[in-house]
Amino acid sequence: MNQHILFRNNINITGKGTKAMLFAPGFGCDQNMWRLVAPFFEEHFRVILFDYVGSGKSDYHAYNPNKYSNLNGYAQDVLDICAALELKEVIFVGHSVGGVIGMLASLQEPDRFEQLVMIGPSPCYLNDHPDYLGGFEREDLEALIEMMEMNYIGWANYLSQVIMQNPERPELSQELEESFCSTDPTVARQFAIATFFSDYREELQKVTVPSLILQCSDDAVAPIEVGTYMHRTLSESTFRLMDATGHCPHMSHPEETIRLISDYLTTIYAGSISNG
């Protein structure tokens, strides 16, 4: 069972500490996304990286369209990982949809999580006028998914079929696999739909685990209104607006990302020590 989970989600463990930090990538990418941030925490933590089923070096055979048709399927995998590694009171760090996945997992088994660090999270991408601004109209999201299809999803199926008939050109398949952080095309499409058409606003108020929200300036995917909405709705949340722009501060501004996370953790644990 444990070995199976470790293999399924391509789990990699490093670090000298005992307290676990579990890093969940965002949409469309794998654990490589963390390579500028995660190593910093190896000095004091047990750093755990993984890939979603269907991404990176996960076990693509484990993909089940029903299970992963919404984010709870991915949340279950996070819980499986916690169970397989016997993790408790984890510091969960999730980028984008990874943060929401961690939040959903914490609703199932709150004891597994001590802190949720969410980078550019959004509980709902669609605008719900006039009370909620997710940043997107339906047409925008459809155009986004179409763009993904034009680039990759719509074609890779065909291409992979062509490639299978061209065994003398293995380099072609290799190239395809490396592109787009290697996500299986049909999986990516379903993941995109599960992510961008989801609405987990109702779940926010049920979260009991304390959280840190890292909000980028000028993020086209998760605008500042979304970050402040999350901060308002999550009961024990801390909100930090970053100097970083874009949606991937852990790649574009790793120093600031590291600083804000470690400052937060230092405050939390200094507090707990003085209280204790």
Judge contact between 212 and 116, C-beta under 8 A: yes
Query: Contact between 40 and another protein (CB under 8 A)?
Result: no
Query: Contact between 114 and another protein (CB under 8 A)?
Result: no
User: Which three-class secondary structure state does DSSP give residue 214?
Assistant: strand
For the question of residue 219 being annotated catalytic, the response is: yes
Q: How many residues bind another protein (CB under 8 A)?
A: 34
Q: How far apart are CA 68 and CA 97, in angstroms?
A: 13
Among the listed residues 184, 219, 250, 253, the single catalytic one is 219
Query: Contact between 27 and another protein (CB under 8 A)?
Result: yes
Query: Contact between 140 and another protein (CB under 8 A)?
Result: yes
Q: How far is the CB of 216 from another protein (least distance, A)?
A: 9
Report which residue type is found at 133: L
The residue (of 86 and 178) whose beta carbon lies closer to another protein is 178
- Site for another protein (CB under 8 A): which residue of 60, 107, 154, 258? 154
Q: How far is the CB of 218 from another protein (least distance, A)?
A: 7
User: Which three-class secondary structure state does DSSP give residue 37?
Assistant: coil
- Site for another protein (CB under 8 A): which residue of 13, 143, 162, 270? 143
Beta pairing, strands 46-49 & 12-14 = antiparallel
Q: Which segment (22-30, 66-74, 85-93, 231-239) binds another protein by CB under 8 A?
A: 22-30
For the question of residue 182 being annotated catalytic, the response is: no
Query: Encoding tokens for residue 274?
Result: 């003085």
DSSP 153: I
For the question of residue 237 being annotated catalytic, the response is: no
The residue (of 162 and 220) whose beta carbon lies closer to another protein is 220
Length of the chain: 276
- Site for another protein (CB under 8 A): which residue of 12, 32, 70, 173? 32
Report which residue type is found at 132: Y
Query: Contact between 226 and another protein (CB under 8 A)?
Result: no
Tell me the CA distances in angstroms from 21 to 17, 107, 137, one per residue in order. 10, 18, 35
Q: How far apart are CA 12 and CA 147, in angstroms?
A: 32
Helix or strand holding residue 82 (H, E): helix 71-84
Query: Contact between 132 and another protein (CB under 8 A)?
Result: no
- Site for another protein (CB under 8 A): which residue of 82, 87, 93, 248? 248
- Site for another protein (CB under 8 A): which residue of 2, 14, 161, 179? 179
Describe the chain by its helix, strand, coil percentages, rounded to 5.
50, 20, 30
Judge contact between 70 and 198, C-beta under 8 A: yes
Residues carrying an active site annotation: 96, 219, 247
**What are the residues binding another protein (CB under 8 A)?**
26-29, 32-33, 136-137, 140-141, 143-144, 146-151, 154, 158, 178-181, 218-221, 245-248, 251-252
